[in-house]
Amino acid sequence: MYLYQHQLLPKDEVAISPDDRAYYFGDGIYEVFRVYNGVLFEPEGHYRRLEKSAREVRIPLPYGVDKLHSLLLELIGANRLQEGTVYMQISRGVAPRSHPFPQQAEPVVMAYCSEVSRTLKSMQGGIRAVTADDIRWLKCDLKTLNLLANVMAKQHALDQGADEVILHRNGTITECSASNFMMVKEGELFTHPANHLILHGITREVVLRLARQLDIRCHERAFSIEDLSSAEEAFITGTVTEITPVVTVDGKPVGRGEPGPVTRRLQQAFEQLIGIDQA
């Protein structure tokens, strides 16, 4: 079942118009929530980010967070989702193609669930990354549907036989195509500050919180590709990828070229948080 406006409907009854501004302009915002054991993970962070994205692109949310939350719970219940994700997007609405905001259009809400298993193989063994220019706009903190630069960057990585791309602006690392990036140096954690150049990841926040609880010093400070070349460990964070070690960058090993001890400790703390039995 899909959520369309405020109704639950079978997918083939969801009538998205070709005049939806999401389709013409990518004129909309979205969120991807994680569900563990049938329960939404860190929903407040996602709602806060959604409200911020909506405010800044001036799309009026059709209902408040309480109503949105109850609709998402209904959606999860109707789909009997235990492990997976909920994708939700809100476009500015339906109107003939023209750049100015339409006078009449009402926002279009659409959401659905996907069963997704944890990506254990890459979480355990790590992934290979390549670097690429971050050519995105200067409002990367807004979760908008305009993802062409992210799509191009991800494909660039895959075309080179890698798994993910590490984006940089003039050598300063920002984040990845759909995740945030962190490195460990002299046992301390570094990640780009949460400003307009990165998405303020919910997982990034959770990981910083866990790191501080584990007495790992954290620095929200920009660093360069050159700084990364002498890092001991690196990993990405995201709703789907959780904490996934990066073992090579541009073909060169990070540290020993295997997931490191700080990454492992954080992964264990994360698993505890989401209620995975480690016995």
C-alpha–C-alpha distance, residues 93 and 82, integer Å: 31
- Rounded least distance, CB 150 to ligand PMP, Å: 6
Torsion of CA 214, 217, 221, 226, to 10 degrees: -100
| Nearer of residues 52 and 105 to ligand PMP, judged by Cβ | 52
- Rounded least distance, CB 102 to ligand PMP, Å: 27
- Which positions touch ligand PMP (CB under 6 A)? 32, 150, 175, 178-180, 199, 201-204, 237-239
CB closest to ligand PMP, residue no? 201
Q: Structure tokens of 109?
A: 């809400």
C-alpha–C-alpha distance, residues 6 and 278, integer Å: 39
| Nearer of residues 128 and 204 to ligand PMP, judged by Cβ | 204
Q: Which among 67, 121, 143, 154 is annotated as catalytic?
A: 143
- Rounded least distance, CB 234 to ligand PMP, Å: 15
- The residue type found at 27 is D
Q: Is the dihedral of CA 235, 42, 31, 171 positive or negative?
A: negative
To which residue do tokens 């969120």 refer?
A: 31
- Rounded least distance, CB 239 to ligand PMP, Å: 3
Instruction: Decide if 50 contacts 31 (C-beta within 8 A).
Output: yes
| Nearer of residues 150 and 267 to ligand PMP, judged by Cβ | 150
| Nearer of residues 168 and 204 to ligand PMP, judged by Cβ | 204
Whether 252 is catalytic: no
Beta strand pairing call for 127-133 and 242-249: parallel
Catalytic residues: 143
